[in-house]
Chains A and B, each alone.
Chain A
Amino acid sequence: MASHLATDRSKTLLRVPGWRWPLAPVLALALGLFGFVLRRAPAAVAGTPWEAALDWLPALGLSLHLRLDSLSLIFALLITGIGALVVAYSMPYMQGEQGLGRYYASLTLFMLAMFGLVMAGNLLLLFVFWELTSISSYLLIGFRHEEAESQEAALQALLVTGAGGLAMLAGIVLIGQVYGSFDLGVILAEPTRLRAHPLYGWALGLILAGAFTKSAQFPFHFWLPKAMVAPTPVSAYLHSATMVKAGIYLLARLSPLLGGSIAWQATLTTAGGLTMLLGAWQALRQHDLKGILAYTTISTLGMMVALLGLGTAEASQAALVTLVAHALYKGALFLVAGAVDHETGTRDVRLLGGFWAYGPALGLVAALAALSMAGLPPTLGFVAKELGYSAALEWSEQAIASGGLALLVLAANACNVALAVVLGYRVFFGEPGGPWPRKPHGMPWLLVLPGLLLAGASWLVGILPGLLDGAVERAVGLVLPGAHAGHLALWHGWSLPLALSMVTLASGAGLYALWRRRPPAPCGEPRLSALAAYRWLVYRALPGAASGLTRTLQNGSLRFYIMVILASTVLVAGGTLVRSGLLSRGSLSSEAYAWPELLMTALLVAAALGVVLAPTRLGAILSLGAVGSMVTLLYVRFRAPDLALTQLLIEALTVILLLQVFHYLPPGFEEHVRPRRAALEIAVAASVGLLMAGLVLMANGVQFAPPIARYYLEQSAPLAHGHNVVNVILVDFRGYDTLGEITVLATAAIGVYALLRVRRRKA
């Protein structure tokens, strides 16, 4: 039966466009994980989280510790559920694209990474998954890699979120240092310890850098709209429903640890509030469907961050419910936008309108989702908005503060309402503004169904908030230990929040009227923006500084390199001596010097100066010879004839060799050195000389080993039975040395033979 169905598939309803075999396991994986989470949901809500642990790197405190409590549960359900829907939606949407294997592989990688992120019971593990989501997001944004815009957007997202992730790692390391463990269970068992620690400020700042970059908070928000070049299912999944909420997850998860301080409250509410207003304002100025969706997403993310910053039970509850509501309605709207784009070939709201005629089913999905976005009862969006208002109103004792906050939230919500009308009404019932690039022709049902399920869920949970209540209640307790929020309900009676909701709707309608009169025109990048700052940093400042530094430090001149190394040596050695307070301790020996030594020394200095100042190479070599001769004389004077002899031989040989070599070089020094450079070089040379002289003086007084000669004189007869001490030293005491010297001679002989052999062969 099954095989019959399979072979006959092309004729049946089961025919799915864009079907490829790798899809089945991906879909099965997503659904399997969804089922896995759902089965463990009751336990998580009841407060007995599912846990599994496998020691991966116990030595470094990294274990594969997974944990499903109710905060993770909310995220995990969204990740796996929306993941499955997005995979199904991709089948028709991505049909005919090149590199589908890569697409689904990256999507799977992302889903697993994101799933791991919210399940991780260990901060380092969380970081690992965090970076994996950045990488898979990079691969997905840059999926159409032949387009330059995709490349830049992908790289931008990766750099911003990846860099934030690494900053977060630094914060994690600090937390690990304070607690001596990276295990979340251990850390959260004693949440207040960090706040009392001097490293708290650093840890907070670094962790927030990670969360803010990932969740597109001001001033790191600019990567998200650019990331919309990704295929729309990816935007729906990563850049609206799940990945950008990883930052929210992190803040919620670590709120017991980091929260409760003025710094936390001030940073989160300021950054979140700014993001909320900026995103809403920017969203009004977009004409691309995905642009509108991206900026309203930024705005909502900002609202969640601000709510978490307030740090009250109501606010945390509002943040969590907003998160779920947003994932459901925004995911659906993204899928609608993708379907419209797929059919018409455009996403420009100025062109779109009257799509109802081609896709009433899609219109229904859009309407359902838009009502939730606008916050109308009985949707989850309404529940979330009410909670947001009451959290804002009850936040502070002072009516001005809470009232002001509520008004800001209201402003952002009104923009949301206006744009919900654009998305849910205008596209389907408005007047088309121009011809579409493509004529719609029979939409595949898989482009509609996933959106319908998401929008429907948003209504279902709105009507029956009890479905979400238990999980949220428990999760609020995890965000703020010991806190309890009221039960979720659709109807709270006639109250101030409800009145605010009315005002929101009214001002939203007004905003839409204004928007319709003056539809957004394409506007250029503002000159001063976070994006401009990023571009300046990445494309101008860093490369500029880097190449400037390269030109200065690595100019290829050996002379310069030597100067740098010598100067550094003086600094290191001199600095060490100064720091240890020992520089003053070197002293000249009090022994009186007679005039011959002084004369020799004077001549030696003169000859050394001659080497440096000589205009010709020959002169320099001869002066060098003079230096050597003076040293030889000093040896003779201090009764060391053997040293003197060696020195003389070496000197003679060196001068001859140098003359041989310099025979091939021009006689004079042509290189011209600028005076300032010359002064620098003289200073470095002088300081090296001083350092070496100082070290010699310091070393001068040390004498501890007894002279070695007496030992040989006494022991040569009894030990080696020889009376010629020199012979005994050569063949007995230092026999190995002699063996070595013989070996050197033999090796040299072999070398000479080999060279002769080469010459003979050549001849």
Chain B
Amino acid sequence: MLPTLSVLNLNGAVPQIAVAGAGMLIMLIDALFHRGSRRWAAYLALLGLAVALARVVESGASAETILDGALARDGLGMAFALVLIVAAALSVLVAMDYLRREEHERAEYYALILFATAGGLAMAMANDLVAVFIGLETLSISLYVLSAFFTGDAASREAALKYLLLGAFASAFFLYGIALLYGASGTTRLVEMGTAIRLAGTQADPLLWGGVALIIVGVGFKLALVPFHSWAPDVYQGAPTSVTAFMSVASKVAAFAALVRLLVVVLAPAAPLTSALLALLAVLTMTVGNILALAQDEVKRLLAYSSIAQAGYILVAAVAGEVGAAAVLFYLLGYAFTNLGAFAVVLAWSRRGEGRLPFSDLAGLGFRRPWTAAALSLFLLSLTGMPLTVGFVGKLYLFGAAVQAGWTWLAIVAVLNSVVSAFYYLRLVVIMYMREAEMPLALQRAGLALGVALAVCAAGVILLGLVPGVALDWARQAVAVVLS
């Protein structure tokens, strides 16, 4: 009953502590001492993330828990944590030059990214619904603030307000769901909850079903699944591009981590019903996301819709439950590189003071900026799922898992959706290489940090596409070790 320090196992929580600690340090130094350039904050953030990453890689998975069982250090949690930390580090690199260019270089940006990451880490490793909720709120609140980061920009403020108000509903539903599940099982610990549900059987309890539905609503909002997606395009477009990049990857990694764990540990006995519900959401999400993306004439909003559709693809494997967990993990790893890379190009090319990147601005850039354009083409091909990129391997794995679990029709719907998506992804490539610019865009020099981020993303997409064996094995082994 009485927690002691050894039960808390703070040693195991070093990743979270490093990330959140670096964030607090940044806030503290900035508030008390600093004036002038804020680049040091980015380096400090990278340092914190590096420590966390090193710790995650070095310590590996184990059966022990952190904070008296609230967080699990199992393979699943550590693997998703790793993806999240990598994504956060890339987001920091992407933002450095962009913030300076837009004259919004402030230290709290990096602190907020770190806090969001710490929240995401909690979600990825949570073994307790309350921990999931706290993680979710930490992540969300940081993102609300980040969305409004360009305070002078009306679109940025509107995005943040919409996100906040709609997010409040989602959080309330999620919390309500936790309460109902607690009512159904008598615990908030996932492992014990899973045992209780297995013992009790699933047919009897309205609290269980109400709770599951509300939790799916909450997670669905965070993942921007249709029909809980309506906030996403407006927020993705209004928020600063570097925030959109981070948001589109980090919230998906964290929320999918929590969802996969819920499905595997807690809801496995309820699989028939949850799978049917998730399959329905997956079909809606892929289809609506893709059809909406077709109508766009601006890259940032296009990527916003496309990342809705991408969540739908990932959900296809999540429907498969335990079978699909490794596929979800692997796809998210590839998706982190791909999507962050694509957004990085958008923010490198967009005009100053403007988040938009109209298609017409891309014309002729294939030859004026050969390297960056090649990188963007690579990311777009990967998002389409073209062979030799990580997107192909990832989709193959996702849809293969669905087929293996007997969801063949869903996999076929997913493939058909990929066909539709090819239309808008490849159109960008066409414009870059095959159209002459009417009014050549005045391009800024991309900074070194952005270049490094792009190179890392491109290398990730190619390497994971050509020799994915190591990463596939890693994903498979990681999800095999789940605290239960």
Closest A residue to B431 by CB, please name it: A151
Q: Are B419 and A57 in contact, with the CB atoms below 8 A? A: no
- Residues of chain B with a CB closer than 8 A to A150's CB: 434
Interface with B: A6-14, A400-408, A573-581, which one? A573-581
Contact A543 B294 (CB under 8 A): yes
B472 engages A553 (CB within 8 Å): no
Contact with A along B258-274 (1 / 0, CB 8 A): 00000000000000010
For residue B455, CB closer than 8 A to chain A, the reply is no
Contact (Cβ within 8 A) A60 B396:
yes
A166 touches B166 (CB 8 A): no
Residues of A within 8 A of B214 (CB): 569, 573
Report, as a range, how many residues of chain B touch the other chain.
35 or more
B283 interface residue per 8 A CB criterion? no
Point out the residue from A127, A151, A173, A556 that lies within 8 Å of B403, measured CB to CB: A173
Does chain A have a CB within 8 A of B90?
A: no
Q: Is the C-beta of A471 less than 8 angstroms from some C-beta in chain B?
A: no
The answer on a CB contact under 8 Å between A569 and B472 is: no
With A170-B411, A577-B213, A736-B3 known, 14 other A-B pairs at CB within 8 A are A59-B472, A145-B434, A166-B422, A167-B419, A199-B408, A202-B412, A206-B412, A546-B295, A550-B292, A554-B233, A561-B162, A564-B230, A576-B213, A751-B31
- Of all chain B residues, the one with the shortest Cβ separation from A753 is B31
With A577-B206, A704-B186 as known contacts, state yes or no: A57 contacts B393, CB within 8 Å.
yes
Q: With a CB–CB cut-off of 8 A, which chain B residues contact A575?
A: 213, 277
Check A128–B388 contact: CB distance below 8 A: yes
Chain B: minimal CB distance from A186 (Å): 16
| Residue from the set B209, B276, B386, B408 with the largest chain A CB neighbour count within 10 Å | B209
A604: min CB distance to chain B, Å = 19
B333 within 8 A of A: no
- The answer to whether A57 touches B468, judged by C-beta atoms less than 8 angstroms apart, is yes
Among A321-365, those with CB < 8 Å from B are none
Cα-based distance from A329 to B196 in the complex (angstroms): 75
Residues of A within 8 A of B420 (CB): 542
Q: Does A159 reach chain B (CB closer than 8 Å)?
A: yes
A658-709 contacts to B, CB under 8 A, are: 692, 695, 698-699, 702, 704-705
Which B residues are in CB contact (< 8 Å) with A585? 206
Do A163 and B422 touch (CB < 8 A)?
yes
Q: Kindly list chain A residues whose C-beta atoms are within 8 Å of the C-beta of B217.
A: 568-569, 572-573
B386 interface neighbour in A135, A576, A577, A695, Cβ under 8 Å: A135
Indicate whether A750 reaches chain B with its CB closer than 8 angstroms: yes
Alpha-carbon distance between A266 and B420 when the two chains are bound, in angstroms: 29
Which residues of B from 366 to 418 have beta carbons under 8 Å from A? 386-388, 392-393, 396-397, 399-400, 403-404, 408, 411-412, 415-416, 418
From residue A717, how far is it (CB to closest CB) to chain B in Å?
15
CB distance from B397 to the nearest CB of A (A): 6
**In whole angstroms, how far apart are the Cα atoms of A234 and B464 in the complex?**
33
A170 near B415 with CB under 8 A, answer: yes
Find chain A residues with CB under 8 A from B433 CB: 145
Q: Tell me which residues across on chain A come within 8 A of B43, comparing CB atoms.
A: none
Q: Is the CB of A576 within 8 A of B472?
A: no
Q: List 14 A-B contacts (CB under 8 A).
A: A58-B469, A61-B400, A128-B387, A131-B387, A132-B387, A154-B434, A155-B430, A173-B399, A546-B293, A558-B162, A576-B210, A583-B206, A698-B210, A705-B186
B180 at the binding interface (Cβ < 8 Å): yes
Contact (Cβ within 8 A) B476 A59: yes
Cross-chain contact B415 with A562 (CB below 8 angstroms): no
Cα-based distance from A167 to B228 in the complex (angstroms): 29
Q: Is the CB of A568 within 8 A of B273?
A: no
Contact B32 A554 (CB under 8 A): no
> Contact check: which of A58, A546, A711, A733 meets B291 at CB < 8 Å?
A546
Q: A695's closest neighbor in chain B, by CB? A: B210
* B419 near A146: Cβ-Cβ < 8 Å: no
A131 to B35, CA, bound (A): 55
- In the complex, per-residue mask of B42-69: 1 if CB is within 8 Å of any chain A CB, else 0: 0000000000000000000000000000
From the candidates A131, A547, A692, A757, name the one contacting B295 in the complex (CB within 8 A): A547
Task: Compute how far the CA of A497 lies from the CA of B5 in the bound complex, rounded to whole angstroms.
Answer: 94
B192 interfacial by beta-carbon distance below 8 Å: no
Shortest distance between the CB of A630 and any CB in chain B (Å): 21
Once bound together, how far apart are the Cα atoms of A39 and B12, in whole Å?
Answer: 62
**A2-58 CB contacts (< 8 Å) to partner B:** 55-58
Residue B82 CB within 8 A of the other chain = no
A583, B476: Cα distance in complex, Å: 40
A704 to B170 CA separation, bound complex (whole angstroms): 28
Out of A151, A166, A692, A750, which one reaches B434, CB within 8 Å? A151
Contact B227 A568, beta carbon cutoff 8 Å: yes
Contact B166 A562 (CB under 8 A): yes
Any A CB within 8 A of the CB of B231 = yes
Whether, in the assembled complex, B212 has its beta carbon less than 8 Å from a beta carbon of chain A, the answer is yes
- A582 cross-chain contacts in B, Cβ below 8 A: 205-206, 209
Q: Which of A62, A145, A155, A163 contacts B419 (CB 8 A)?
A: A163
Alpha-carbon gap, A60 to B390, bound state (A):
13
- Chain B positions within 8 Å of A556 at CB level: 234
